[in-house]
Each structure stands twice: as C-alpha cells, then as structure tokens.
Amino acid sequence: MADYRIDDLARVSGTTVRNIRVYQDRGLLPPPIRRGRTAIYTDAHLSRLRLVTNMLGRGYAFAQIAEMLAAWEAGRSLADVLGLEEAMGVPWSSELPTPITVRELRRMFGNQLTPSNTRKALELGLLRRQGMGFVVPSPQLLEAGYELVKLGVPLDEVIELAGVLQREVDHVAGLMVGLVRQYVLDPKGEDWLPSGDEVPYYADVLRRLPPVVISALTAAVARSTARVIPDMVGDRLEALIKSGKSTPSNPI
C-alpha cells in the first residue's frame, strides 16, 4: 500500500525522474493518481517501471515494449497473480516470502480462518510456520485468494482451488519442460554436455524457460477465463431475470 511521489519512485527503482516522465509520455507506465498537482504512484507502478527498465536494458525499443505490454493487457490480472512482471525481470528471482502474523490472517479472513483450513494451507505450502507466526511463500497468491474471499467465495473453497491450481500448473509446466528436454536437450545424447561456445546458448535456453512457461500459461488461462466468465455472468443474469428481479445489485 506504499505511495510514492515521483521522486521516491525514481530513487526506489534506480531510474531518474526525467526518465519516468518519458516512459509515462510513451505510454509505458500507467497514469499516476493525481493528488492536486502532484502525481502519486503505487507498487503497481513500481513493478511496471522495473519491467520497463529491465527490458530497455536488454535492448528492446520503446515501441516493442509498448506492444508487448498491450498484448499482455488482456491477461493482466492473471499475470499479476503469477508474477509475470517479476518473472520478466533480470534477477529472475521469485517472489519474496513475507512473514505474516496470525493477527493479520485473522484480519483478512475473519472467522473463516479455522485450525482445519490453516492446516490444509500448511500442507499445500501456501503457508509455512515460522516461530510464533507464519511466512507466505507467495504474497501474490495470498492477495489473489483474499480478493476471492472478499467477493464472497468461502475460504475453504479458495484454499481447495489453490491446491488444484498448483497441481495443474505443475503438471502443464512439467509437460512443457519435458518437451524442451525431449527435443532440445536429449537428442544430443544421454550424458551430453554443451561444450565451448555452445554453453552460452544453452545457458540462455535454460534461463529463458521459466518466463516462457509462465507467459504460455498466462495466455492459455487468459483465453480460458475470457470464455468462462461471460458464460457465468450470462447464466447468472438469466437466472435473476427468471426469478423476477429487475435490478440485480450484484449480478456476479
């Protein structure tokens, strides 16, 4: 929930105020929220800014970055969940595991938080024990779950969903990695090792694999949700109309 003035954003992200303004003009950064005359930025801006500077550093042109950003816009909410923007960053480090207290969890989920589903979350690795409290391996996944619960989905179901998601994603990611093994690495022979000038190439293949898997999954799920969500909303509206309610306050 951190707010940044443009100066803060520049310092934290390691760029300059000048460049942030340029990225803004080129449409590479979402418009900031205005408080009077001053622009207020959020962590979302910081995340996007890091992505932009990283891609710039890799030699992408402004126009190319803008194009990719536009292409991702459709699956954006999911990309957030999966950490795509972080994934594209140079230090391909995963999310920062964040400590969280029982008190905070209680504040988020209220009395839906039970010993039973806490245990389930621990089993699934959504939560890990640390001293008196817990640590969240993926704050983004937690945030996504929190959003669902706020919408009215029972916490038990959300945890169940997270488990399914993890299994399915593991499976599909495994298939993709398997294909790369089968067609890129294995044909070279069982105990083949890249030699000499081949090393950088294969190092690059391996380094790019996680982002590729993630963007493929993102695209696939974006397509799927684009199909499923309108159906769901349509069914719900139809049901409401049949039940005689003319002004549904919460159609979803």
51 scored as a contact of DNA (CB under 7 A): no
Pairwise CA distance, residues 185 & 114, whole Å: 47
7 scored as a contact of DNA (CB under 7 A): yes
Pairwise CA distance, residues 55 & 51, whole Å: 6
64 scored as a contact of DNA (CB under 7 A): no
Among 21, 137, 148, 212, binds DNA (CB under 7 A): 21
Region 24-43 residues binding DNA, contact defined as CB under 7 A? 32, 37-39
Kindly indicate which of the ranges 17-25, 67-75, 152-160, 182-190 contains the residues binding DNA, using the contact rule CB under 7 A: 17-25
CB of 5 to DNA, least distance (A): 4
5 scored as a contact of DNA (CB under 7 A): yes
236 scored as a contact of DNA (CB under 7 A): no
Tokens of 40: 């207020």
Beta bridge partners of 130: 133
Q: What distance, in Å, lies between the first and last C-alpha atoms of the chain?
A: 27
> 36 vs 244, which CB is nearer to DNA?
36
> 19 vs 47, which CB is nearer to DNA?
19
Number of neighbouring beta carbons within 10 Å of residue 155? 22
- Edge-to-edge strand order for the sheet containing 128-130? 98-100, 133-136, 128-130
Q: Among the residues of 26-138, which ranges form H helices? A: 43-57, 62-73, 76-82, 84-88, 102-109, 115-124
CB of 33 to DNA, least distance (A): 10
12 scored as a contact of DNA (CB under 7 A): no
Question: Cα 61 to the chain's mean position, in Å?
Answer: 24
Of 27, 30, 26, the residue nearest 9 (C-alpha): 30
Among 6, 68, 100, 205, binds DNA (CB under 7 A): 6
Tokens of 47: 């995340």
18 scored as a contact of DNA (CB under 7 A): yes
CB of 90 to DNA, least distance (A): 15
How many residues touch DNA (CB under 7 A)? Answer: 14
> 11 vs 188, which CB is nearer to DNA?
11
Of 137, 136, 124, 131, the residue nearest 100 (C-alpha): 136
Cα–Cα distances (Å) from 96 to 58, 59, 131, 136, 146, in that order, read 24, 27, 18, 9, 18
242 scored as a contact of DNA (CB under 7 A): no
> 17 vs 175, which CB is nearer to DNA?
17
Positions that interact with DNA (CB under 7 A): 5-7, 16-19, 21-22, 32, 37-39, 56
